[in-house]
Amino acid sequence: MDGPEREGRKLHRSFGGLALLGILLVVAGLVGLVYTGVATLTSMILFGWLLLVGGLVGLVHAVQSRGTNYFWLGVVVAALNIAAGVVVIRHPHGTAEALTMFAALLFLTGGVFRLVGSVVVRGPQFGWTLLQGAFGLLLGLLVLFDWPHSSLYVLGCFFSLALLFDGLGLIAVGIGGRRIVSMVSEQLTPGGDNEEGTDPHTQDSRKRSEN
């Protein structure tokens, strides 16, 4: 019984760690929603470092695979990632402005396509698709009309919301996992339903053997 109990305690601690990580992400998301400018700058720096590290790792893999047909393609992709990472790290504000403009254009085009598609097709989800298209179009126009000032808060708001929802998901998984582990552990502990002392079939067999 020591083995299952030990594994149960490990799982209990692991799910507790997930819940704690979720709480930290929720707190970070809430702080980012309050200080959207800092969140935008932080997300850009993280994005730049991810590109830089990914480019270096890709370059190492390309060097290890030299002599293959994909060697030069890997080198070019890695070099582009490294260059983009350096540019983003050195110019986070300009990168935020460019990405905000790109996001606004995506919202506009997506909203227009959804609006036109919902009107032309008129499927069973007509109202919902029409609402999504109108919301995307309105959001794109709001971001575009306030550009470049909108670059100070749009990306930071998205980044903070992503942290917030990811944290809530981890909290739900951690709490649910701890409850499941606790229920299973209670069934395996002495005096549980699966023990021989309370199993009616086991008690009957013991009585027959004693008689």
Is 62 a residue whose pLDDT tops 50?
A: yes
pLDDT the model gives residue 208:
54
Alpha-helical segments (H) within 91-153: 92-121, 126-145
Q: Within a 10 A sphere around the Cβ of 76, how many other Cβ atoms?
A: 12
**Model confidence pTM above 0.75:** no
Q: What is the pLDDT of residue 130?
A: 79
pLDDT tens digit sequence for 112-165? 888 887 777 776 777 777 788 788 888 888 888 878 777 778 888 888 888 888
pLDDT range class, residue 7, cuts 50, 70, 90: low
Decide which of 30 and 197 is more confident. Answer: 30
Decide: 36 and 152 in contact? Cβ < 8 Å.
Answer: yes
Q: 193 exposed, middle or buried (CB, 10 Å; 0-12, 13-18, 19+)?
A: exposed
9-20 tens-digit pLDDT:
777 678 778 888
Which of 30, 29, 36, 35 shows the shortest CA–CA distance to 155? 36
174, 56 Cβ separation under 8 angstroms? no
Cα angle, residue 155 at apex, residues 50 and 105 outer, rounded to 5°:
105
The answer, yes or no, to whether residue 206 has pLDDT greater than 60, is: no
Taking the C-alpha atoms of residue 27 and residue 172, their distance in angstroms, rounded to an integer, is: 15
Is the pLDDT higher at 187 or at 93?
Answer: 93
> Which stretch of 52-56, 70-74, 147-151, 182-186 has the lowest confidence by average pLDDT?
182-186
pLDDT at 33: 84
Residue 197 pLDDT greater than 50, yes or no: no
